[in-house]
A and B are shown apart, each in its own frame.
Chain A
């Protein structure tokens, strides 16, 4: 019965099948270390790579000709650029929420998805970050938004939400990166030790920064990780609140509203979890990770989606209510315009995608149906994009003076950049699953250990198991 585990708390079924520390380590690290990968991986990566090329082309043309190649105009000064920016930033949020907040809340089920979600966060924020940089008329002077002591004696204008964005987003990216990488170190060490070929050993070795699993290391690691978690927790709220202020600070009907910060944060988490599901479900199948990414995980994520989805929906209702209650003709017109105006289809589609369809998640059957979950997660992603479209475009295209009302029609280049970023995101995610353990090995072992604290570690202990044992042996 060596290396076998008899579960004492069957309630917690976060790891299915019969697993030992060794088997966990092997199963996860082999994905990185083995050379054979499912065909699907190659196919998807290739397609994604193509869209990365599309991105490069569109951006080059954009830099050559100017933002005029997009559909933006007077009065609609922001289009896909800001829509996608907000959308991507939102997607990022789930990562931080899962890794930081759930860690602090001691939610063990986060263990198997946090690595994944964090990676998603980083790439999503990268995509998001592109848009503010590219959407300006003169990208070559965009560094003026940074408070660099300079020769003109002029500073950024700190009252502008766009400046807050700069700080919020950069901080967010930095902290997320740090958090992610710190969490990686022990696993990188594991890979270093398990890698067969020299190159891999060296690369993983350098990245592992001399991790030796000493008690000291673990002690330092734990406190550092906890600190970072604490540090990034406020970011979950701050970033999207600030992004929402880009709109809330202005006086445009539909933007000028105080509900935006909470409403945006909820929306962010909503779309974030949707994106996690969208990614987890196929990859889980692809790499046979059902043992670690169990139905329970999916079920809980679905529940969170349902919850945040309801908050968002509440937001929609409040928008309408305040408009009617305000007796402000411009706000009221905005709502009627959303309902029946030229962009009404987008609005109704949004309600269906974000409000109606996710309600099926009330039923456990649906939450247990992987395919349905996948579809719903996709729909929610679309819905959240539509939400941003409706907020940005319908508010701008008909504001105060009917004489200046206009329409916004995206051009092929708008789509080029958008699809390009999606390609880039997918590309990065697939490289990630290929070259980095997609599930935190040591945390899984820790989880396994916690689910069975009376059982000794297998004798055939690798460096890793010994590391665990340093903690357990009384």
Chain B
């Protein structure tokens, strides 16, 4: 034993072996290694269970760089009770590190080029959880506008924690960091290659281009807002004046850009102030869920919808849309229309609001809507918002600018700033130009930084084949990306990109605010950031850290820079970088003439393209959390489908059989402009008739083990002149059937009082009337005397008026509590593991039902039915009223789950937490037990957070204060629909909410005494449209 420890450990040798191996072999390689005594030594040495091996802040990552590979095996060492385990203290203790306590670092998550502000929790150098950064405009926290309603989360010392809201993407992005399918080495023509080879080749190529002043050099990036990166690109373009920079994002606001040009003659960035709006009209805009500001918008919108006794006032939301969306599902009035009809509708509305356009004659029903909405908007001049979706043509965007102008909203609820993008371009046109040059053979060197154009470029641009040709005509094509994907496969070189948690960078938010992207871990595999690539092209070798610092020291001036820099890193935002509002002048005649050119008619089936709510444009296809996350409204997992309306389905004899385990649905063939597409259908209540919705982001061929080969690829029928809507598609039934796994099979409340719904009027009259209170004899049905809850009594209230069903809570819970994913087949069997789910019920007409949402975590019943039936007492009650679950005591009879009326318990039917992918073990939250096979699990109100807070409070000799414990779901919720706290503290927010007249408990009549309770859903319908 002893001499073994003494023997020198050759880390470099191991690291080399790992770097050279790849793919499946890579892992086999690791497991072989794992068995070797020597490697176990390294592991325990480098990944101790107790002390942290970390050096000071930079040391930490230096160290982890060495350990990138061995880290990957950390999981294998855990769970060996009574065997001889090691304690490995570090050599130098960094001052800010206290072993056993997490550190939080501010950073930013870039998506589509825009920032979400985040705080990343790091355990001994492993980032494990992402929270929102309340200081950041795009991730507003409890600190925000409504501090009266929600207390700021507190640190033990009583200082606010600045936890902010997030969305599902942000929460899940950390899984991508540890994704074992990420590319781990440069590839040359599909063969493993060495970094040096690439750098020399690149240098040579750059030399060649320098000779021709970059005439053959093209750079294709995603949407860029990063000042540093933009600066570098500009520098590159200066050095190669003939070179061109193209940007392409498959989901980007091109129409908005063009619309702004029409309306104002210049590109502007539009920011909506929903917190100031009394009336909101959305024309096919899913502003609560998608877009760079969605989290902020959801938050602002919600500040005007929390109805309370005495303060019963709320905004009104109209949604006219072509696909049922998150925003539509919470609208007070929702009108499903085909895209062409929406254009007509917009014209009519514009006319009704005094914009001098001629509008087509609308059907009576729609006409009624136009009038009602117009009246309502007029009544709230300067306090209303009309917002357009990307799916509508530029002319409509311009028209809506005019409408907002006519309503005097400009400068009030609609604010214009300079564009956030470093170089605002029409991405489709930018790509078209590149393709033209490629076809003309003008391109010799093509550097693609991120993105996956070979997969998601419009079909008619034929980017993939041109790229293939270019590579074959030995053009120098390079693709920098996280995965070796469809585009990489067609390039000469594939270069692994650093994950945003691995490299330095900066990025702007929807309002221009800049955040420094601060890495939390040294790249797990040798990789480059986009900035580093450009820098290499410029013949330098600076690290991402140097690049960002260089830019900002230049911009802020070296004087006192270090102090400013530290503050930027600490706060997660660069002060005064938000873009100032600017005045714009509306060019009415231009708008009108553009609007008049519209022909709001369509023949045959209309087609709408939407990005998938979970895998977005396809970039998250290999993210298991997002794949298994039940999509809003459909609750579909692991697939995409073509959405059709019930009556259209009936007309075409399309079936969706929800009887069995999975939903067996008909497969159809869609033909459009000679392209064919086979896909399963999904019958979508509230979908407009004769309107098909195609979902982007699936049908990946090289996504990775998780995302490859599932769903259909809608990009195959997406054309550059019909990016979002198309008409004239034909649909044919193939006769095949296909199973789709949905987590909710039954959509009606069966007349049960589960979600209580009422209107604002009713609430004003008699708030208590909204809910059915249990009758006195139901009140206390027990032979035993009342139990008195001393000390803290944890409880949660969820406001169903505020839930928008965005799934942020579900993903946050999954990340916080080490919840495994189980795969499509298991989901179909009904074995998904999410501890909190969002129940969705439809009510009313099938063609346009009203949707009711209800997040359901464990109710933590005071009379918990699950407890008395457990034969080993694995689940029982804590003094503080938690229905606690001792995993290691559970024998797995499943009796508790059977007896749970809310069915919130989850069972490990198989070994779901499989350490086959050791690197994923790094993601686990060390404060939460990883459950094994045959064990029941459930929501614990994040007891690990409660315990941490309690211990700190006790050490300070005080009670836990309100706001000190924030559950993962609560922290993530953009609308703050969830509050958690001590209901014995009468001042706590949770108590205040529980005192509300429209407060009720789910299935109260069973006398389960739930601690998790709800506020009834209050709608604010327009009397003129009620019943419409």
Contact = CB atoms under 8 A, between A and B. Distances in A.
Find out whether A and B make contact in their complex, taking CB atoms under 8 A apart as touching.
yes
Nearest to A75: B903
Given A67-B909, A77-B894, A160-B871, 8 more contacts: A72-B909, A78-B894, A138-B890, A138-B892, A145-B871, A166-B871, A401-B1003, A403-B841
Given A160-B870, A160-B871, A403-B841, A78 B898 contact: yes
Given A141-B891, A157-B872, A403-B841, A66 B910 contact: yes
Contacts of A400: 752, 901-903, 1003, 1006
B792 interface: no
A72 B905 CA distance: 14
A174 interface: no
B373 to A, nearest CB: 33
Contacts of B936: 137
A403 B840 contact: yes
Interface in B667-684: none
Nearest to B854: A403
Given A65-B910, A137-B934, A399 B901 contact: yes
A210 interface: no
B429 to A, nearest CB: 46
B856 interface: yes
Contacts of A333: 750
A144 B935 CA distance: 14
A282 interface: no
B659 A342 contact: yes
Contact of A250 (B754, B898, B933): B898
B869 interface: yes
Q: Which of A137, A156, A163, A409 is the most central at the interface, judged by chain B CB atoms within 10 Å of its CB?
A: A137
A401 B752 CA distance: 9
A445 interface: no
B436 interface: no
Contact of B909 (A68, A136, A138, A403): A68
Contacts of B898: 75, 77-78, 250, 252, 396
A399 B903 contact: yes
20 contacts: A66-B933, A68-B831, A74-B907, A77-B894, A77-B895, A77-B897, A78-B898, A136-B934, A137-B907, A139-B934, A250-B895, A398-B746, A401-B901, A401-B903, A402-B746, A402-B748, A402-B749, A402-B754, A403-B854, A405-B746
A73 B856 CA distance: 19
A285 interface: no
B892 A401 contact: no
B72 to A, nearest CB: 26
Contacts of A405: 745-746
Contacts of B856: 401, 403
A458 interface: no
Interface in B396-435: none
A154 B909 contact: no
B313 interface: no
B267 interface: no
Interface residues of B, dominant DSSP: loop
B381 interface: no
Interface extent on A, as a size class?
35 or more
Interface in B809-858: 826, 829-832, 837, 839-841, 854, 856
A162 B871 CA distance: 6
B868 A75 contact: no
Given A74-B830, A145-B872, A401 B934 contact: no
Interface string A247-266: 00111100000000000000
Contact of A402 (B752, B901, B910, B934): B752
A71 B830 CA distance: 10
Interface string A143-180: 01100000000111101111100100000000000000
A251 B867 CA distance: 12
Interface string B895-936: 101110111011111110000000000000000000011111
Contacts of A166: 871
Given A162-B871, A163-B871, A406 B830 contact: yes
Contacts of B1002: 401
A156 B873 contact: yes
B751 interface: yes
Interface string B498-530: 000000000000000000000000000000000
Contacts of A135: 893
Tell me which of A68, A75, A252, A398 has the highest count of chain B C-beta atoms within 10 A of its own C-beta.
A68
Interface of A: 65-69, 71-78, 135-139, 141-142, 144-145, 154-157, 159-163, 166, 246, 249-252, 329, 333, 342, 396, 398-407, 409
A81 to B, nearest CB: 9
B869 A160 contact: yes
B889 interface: yes
Nearest to B833: A74
Nearest to B1007: A251
Contacts of A163: 871
A401 B1006 CA distance: 13
B868 A145 contact: no
A342 B657 CA distance: 13
A75 B903 CA distance: 7
A162 B898 CA distance: 13
Closest 8 CB pairs of A and B: A137-B892, A137-B934, A68-B909, A77-B894, A68-B910, A157-B873, A404-B903, A403-B839
Contacts of A154: 872-873, 889
Interface string B102-137: 000000000000000000000000000000000000
Contacts of B661: 406-407, 409
Given A68-B831, A157-B871, A401-B839, A137 B659 contact: no
Contacts of B893: 135-137, 162
Contacts of A160: 868-871, 895
Contacts of B869: 159-162, 249-250
A163 B905 CA distance: 21
Contacts of A155: 873
B901 A73 contact: no
Nearest to B911: A66
Contacts of B894: 72, 77-78, 137
B708 interface: no
A368 B659 CA distance: 46
B611 interface: no
Contacts of A68: 826, 831, 909-910, 933
Nearest to B839: A403
B151 interface: no
Contacts of B829: 71, 73
A459 to B, nearest CB: 62
A76 B900 CA distance: 11
Nearest to A249: B869
A111 to B, nearest CB: 41
B600 interface: no
A144 B909 contact: no
B29 interface: no
Residue among B892, B908, B1003 with the most chain A CB within 10 A? B892
Contacts of A74: 830-832, 897, 903, 905-907
B290 interface: no
Contacts of B907: 74, 77, 137
Contacts of B752: 329, 400, 402
B744 interface: yes
B891 A138 contact: yes
Nearest to B932: A138
Contacts of A342: 659
A75 B826 CA distance: 13
A144 B749 contact: no
A78 B896 CA distance: 11
B560 interface: no
Nearest to A160: B871
A162 B893 CA distance: 9
A161 B865 CA distance: 13
A440 B338 CA distance: 84
Most buried by B among A162, A401, A402, A407: A401
